[in-house]
Chains A and B, each alone.
Chain A
Amino acid sequence: MSVAGLLAAARAADAHAWPYVIGGWGLTAAVLGGYWARLRARIRRAERTLAPGDDG
């Protein structure tokens, strides 16, 4: 395809690009946020079991 053709196709697709943008941003936020939340929960749980005093 020629450059002009590609550019025309890109412009035509522009109106339809928003779903991809939202999908990409949403996915990134979900993955990174989910990873962080899971890390935090696991650290809290491990710290609780290691807390001094419950060493049986």
Chain B
Amino acid sequence: MNRLNIEEPTDTPGQLLAPGVRHAIGAVALVALAALALLGLWGAPPDDRQGEAMRLLYLHVPSAWLAYLAFFVTAVASVLFLWRRTRSMVWDRVAGASAELGVIFTGLTLVVGALWGRPIWGVWWAWDARLVTTAVLFFLYLGYLSLRRIPGEPEAAGKRNAIAALIAFVDVPIVHFSVEWWRTLHQKATVFNPELSAKIEGVQALTLWIAVIAFTLLYLYLLDRRYRLAVLEEGQAERELEQAIRERTGDAVAGVTP
């Protein structure tokens, strides 16, 4: 810990992706997002059954996919951190960055889903297993992010975070199962009538695929940036600590020698 003049922690990579790869991913993501906006808002025809509201699914579906992917990445990174042979702060940062993105995409999934549900089902919200599980997921990981924000000695805090992430992850299937059970025991699903689902083909399917690809690339890009920020913030905290120590010891020396 006696390294003075450090710029950033050097024992782990300062970013996940090589700059060239990152720029390429960012550029492709941007082009794909532009294509998505063009196709999703204008190019794709309105759906036979769902009409124009179908256009919200081009955002809702990839958001939901990324929410689940992001939390899965958090769980895997947490396991890799807990396992002694792969323990590295890299995994702690990946877990945190991915969870933050997961919470954002979960929030978007819920809000865009509600905006879609209102014209299609006539209600903003339905007590369906998927919806309730997603809402619980949102709060589970919101709590996890709050826990992460509390500083501590890196290794101890990393363990704490990783275990909290796994406790939350184990809960997801139980929540889903219990809510599904609850809803199907008491009533027949009315809003999820298969006759109402969109028949996705042609330009619509293409748009949806572009949406999924664009969002996944955006996720990768943002994950790298969030990781980078975590590295910089750790370096900053370390520097501030060292400066404080230097000031204190400097004072002590000044006090002894007149």
Question: What residues make up the interface of A, taking CB atoms closer than 8 Å to B?
Answer: 1, 3, 6-7, 9-11, 13-14, 16-18, 20-21, 23-25, 27-28, 31-32, 35-36, 39-40, 42-43, 46-47, 49-52, 55-56
Contact = CB atoms under 8 A, between A and B. Distances in A.
Interface of B: 5, 7-8, 37, 40-41, 46, 49-53, 55-56, 59-60, 63, 104, 107-108, 111-112, 115-116, 118-120, 122, 190, 193, 195-196, 218, 222, 225-226, 228-229, 232-233, 235-236, 239, 243
A11 B60 CA distance: 21
Contacts, number: 106
Contact of A24 (B50, B51, B59, B193): B59
18 contacts: A7-B49, A10-B51, A10-B120, A10-B196, A13-B120, A20-B115, A20-B119, A21-B41, A21-B55, A24-B112, A25-B55, A27-B108, A27-B111, A28-B108, A32-B108, A35-B222, A39-B229, A49-B236
Query: Do most interface residues of chain A lie in helix, strand or loop, or is the interface mixed?
Result: helix
A27 to B, nearest CB: 6
B190 A1 contact: yes
A2 B9 CA distance: 63
Nearest to A33: B33
A31 B101 CA distance: 11
B122 A28 contact: no
Contacts of B50: 10
B193 A39 contact: no
B222 to A, nearest CB: 7
B229 A36 contact: no
Contact of A7 (B46, B53, B104, B196): B196
B197 to A, nearest CB: 11
A36 B8 CA distance: 22
A23 B114 CA distance: 11
B52 A18 contact: yes
A53 B116 CA distance: 53
A24 to B, nearest CB: 4
A42 to B, nearest CB: 6
Given A31-B104, A31-B108, A32-B218, A20 B236 contact: no
B175 to A, nearest CB: 25
A21 B112 CA distance: 9
